[in-house]
């Protein structure tokens, strides 16, 4: 399901989890349980060793996930195994995308069933290259913009 289709339903329950917490193997089941519990969109965070825009709860989850062996390859594997009818959205930092390659990252999102990306530290005015890669692979790029 596309993100825009989910919003046609009206108000949504959008839930975030840090992939890999408590373990990479548990992530697909947790995503399926969130859907079963009523989540309309699931934000699946890719843990980062140096989170600059996360509070202490998400920082702790990221550290547990990294310690449990979560990495970018395992992230996409878990996302692909988490077969759900609701949209899955990547949430993470630009340097993880840049290191993998913008086109490859967007393609990996699409191939694993991720239909949207939230990049916490990417300002819209600098997003054209990633927007292009996302458009080519049918992934929505979602911005966090302060009022």
- Report pTM: 0.93
- The token pair at 62 is 């990221």
pLDDT tens for the 147 residues of the chain, in order: 788 888 888 899 999 999 999 999 999 999 999 999 999 999 999 999 887 778 889 999 999 999 999 999 999 999 999 999 999 999 999 999 999 999 999 999 999 999 999 999 999 999 999 999 999 999 999 998 777
Contact assessment for residue 12 and residue 6, using Cβ atoms and an 8 Å cutoff: yes
Q: How many residues make up the chain in this entry?
A: 147
Considering only CA atoms, which of 48, 41, 112 is closest in space to residue 76? Answer: 112
| Integer Rg of the chain from CA | 14
Burial class (CB in 10 A: 0-12, 13-18, 19+), 59: middle
- Of 21, 35, 40, 43, the active-site residue reads 43
- Of 40, 54, 108, 140, the active-site residue reads 54
Catalytic residue list contains 125: no
- Please count the CA atoms within 13 angstroms of the CA of 80 that sit on its side-chain side: 12
Catalytic residue list contains 43: yes
């Amino acid at each position: 399901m596309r993100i825009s289709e989910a919003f046609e339903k009206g108000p949504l329950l959008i839930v975030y989890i840090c992939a890999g917490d408590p373990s990479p193997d548990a992530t697909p089941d947790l995503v399926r349980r969130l859907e079963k519990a009523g989540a309309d969109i699931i934000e699946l965070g890719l843990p980062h060793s140096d989170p600059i825009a996360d509070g202490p709860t998400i920082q702790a989850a990221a550290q547990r996930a990294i310690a449990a062996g979560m990495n970018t390859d395992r992230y996409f594997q878990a996302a692909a195994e988490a077969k759900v009818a609701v949209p899955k959205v990547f949430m993470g930092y630009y340097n993880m995308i840049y290191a993998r390659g913008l086109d490859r990252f967007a393609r990996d999102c699409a191939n694993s069933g991720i239909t949207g990306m939230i990049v916490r530290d990417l300002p819209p005015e600098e997003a054209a290259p990633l927007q292009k890669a996302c458009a080519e692979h049918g992934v929505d790029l979602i911005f966090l913009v302060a009022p």
